Amino acid sequence: MIPAINIQQIHKRFGELHALKGIDLTIEQGEFFALLGPNGAGKSTLINLLAGLSRPTSGRLQVMGFDVNAQYAEARRALGVVPQELVFDPFFNVREMLRFQAGYFGHGRSNDAWVDEIIESLGLADKAHTNMRRLSGGMKRRALIGQALAHKPPVIVLDEPTAGVDVELRQTMWEFIRRLNQEGHTIILTTHYLEEAETLCSRIAMMKQGQIVALDSTQNLLNRVPGKRLRLKLAGMLPDVLRPLLREEQDGQQVLALADIAQLESILATLRAANVAVEDMQLIEADLEDVFVELVS
């Protein structure tokens, strides 16, 4: 099967700045994929190249087998992009914008039913005739998602889609996106909310300074950080013998790194021997943030 996205040796330079340094990446059809990295890692640059908003210095990009530059019309038809910024056209209402967007891709009135379905699914029905500039930030974000979907693209790129969106809206949005993924759409997501990537995505690429530093399934990435964390609130001082395990200390609580669960018993025994009472205790699994911190920071 043709990959949804195929990126080969992509370099992008802005003058002296080498923003992307030979990126190779393949994303299969139907994947829910996350592209993570700190600000300036090159995520948005890579998305701009995929969308044809920018041109690579060298290398090759394909969307559903179509070259982004040589076969730009087919490649763009296969891609829907939700931009990071809350941009909108102040002259039109939500329904008009969605219909125009579908029209730009060559769809006529026969597509109007799909536009109405998007409006309904994104909870925009009562705002369909509201001018874009009168919408709240969250509603504008939904309209942006709607615009990216208006031409029924098989591949959808969401660049920080939940930035500034409240929890309720976020849930509705993810429900809709998850449904699209279940229907076969490939979803590529960049986000600063790592728990979203961990929950939703099956595979993750982590970028740092224009390079991919980790590319694996979410579970394999989580397995990269061995052991667990033990959060303790103690009545006394942490015994010196446990100090080498200390990873974090905040608000009177200490977080210790455990190589494995068996270590828990010896820690508690040490605390008992030192006559330090445990006021509260919590065992924490490693999460994507730990992986992210280890690989990217």
Partner 1 sequence: MAGLLSQNWRGAWTLFRKELLRFWRVSFQTVAAPVMTAVLYLLVFSHVLEGRVQVYPGVGYTSFLIPGLIMMSLLQNAFANSSSSLIQSKVMGNLIFVLLTPISYLGFYLAFLAAAIIRGLVVGLGIYLVAIIFVDLPLEHPWWILAFALLGSGLLGTFGIIAGIWAEKFDQMAAFQNFVIMPLSFLSGVFYSIHSLPPFWQQVSHLNPFFYMIDGFRYGFFGTGDISPFISLGVVAGCFFALSLITLQMLKSGYRLRG
Q: Which stretch binds partner 1 (CB under 8 A): 94-102, 212-220, 240-248, 272-280?
A: 94-102
> Which residue has tokens 């996350």?
34
Q: Does 109 bind partner 1 (CB under 8 A)?
A: no
Q: How many residues bind partner 1 (CB under 8 A)?
A: 32
Q: Which stretch binds partner 1 (CB under 8 A): 101-109, 112-120, 251-259, 286-294?
A: 101-109
The C-alpha R_g of the chain, in whole angstroms, comes to 23
CA distances from 147 to 81, 87, 240 (A): 8, 11, 59
State how beta strands 32-36 and 203-208 pair: parallel
Which is nearer to partner 1, 105 or 193 (by Cβ)?
Answer: 105
Q: Does 87 bind partner 1 (CB under 8 A)?
A: yes
Close Cβ partners of 293 (under 8 Å, ≥ 6 residues apart): none
Task: Pick the closest to residue 256 from 221, 227, 235, 222 (CA basis).
Answer: 227
The correct pick among 3, 67, 92, 216 for binding partner 1 (CB under 8 A) is 92
Q: Which stretch binds partner 1 (CB under 8 A): 22-30, 50-58, 187-195, 215-223?
A: 50-58
Rounded CA-CA distance 249/232 in Å is 10
Q: How far is the CB of 99 from partner 1 (least distance, A)?
A: 8
Rounded CA-CA distance 102/108 in Å is 8
Q: How far is the CB of 90 from partner 1 (least distance, A)?
A: 7
Q: How far is the CB of 206 from partner 1 (least distance, A)?
A: 24
Q: Which stretch binds partner 1 (CB under 8 A): 21-29, 83-91, 238-246, 287-295?
A: 83-91
Task: Pick the closest to residue 164 from 136, 133, 128, 196 (CA basis).
Answer: 136
Q: Does 15 bind partner 1 (CB under 8 A)?
A: no
At 289, is the secondary structure helix, strand, or coil? helix
Q: Which stretch binds partner 1 (CB under 8 A): 89-97, 213-221, 222-230, 249-257?
A: 89-97
Give the DSSP H/E element, type plus range, for residue 77: helix 72-77
Which is nearer to partner 1, 78 or 232 (by Cβ)?
Answer: 78
The correct pick among 51, 135, 212, 234 for binding partner 1 (CB under 8 A) is 51
Q: Does 100 bind partner 1 (CB under 8 A)?
A: yes
- What does residue 87 show for φ and ψ, rounded to 5 degrees? -95, 150
Q: Does 114 bind partner 1 (CB under 8 A)?
A: no
Close Cβ partners of 61 (under 8 Å, ≥ 6 residues apart): 5, 6, 7, 8, 10, 49, 50, 67, 68, 69
Q: Does 253 bind partner 1 (CB under 8 A)?
A: no
What does the binding site for partner 1 look like in residue numbers (CB under 8 A)? 14, 48, 51-55, 72-74, 76-77, 79, 81, 83, 85, 87-92, 97, 100-101, 103-108, 147
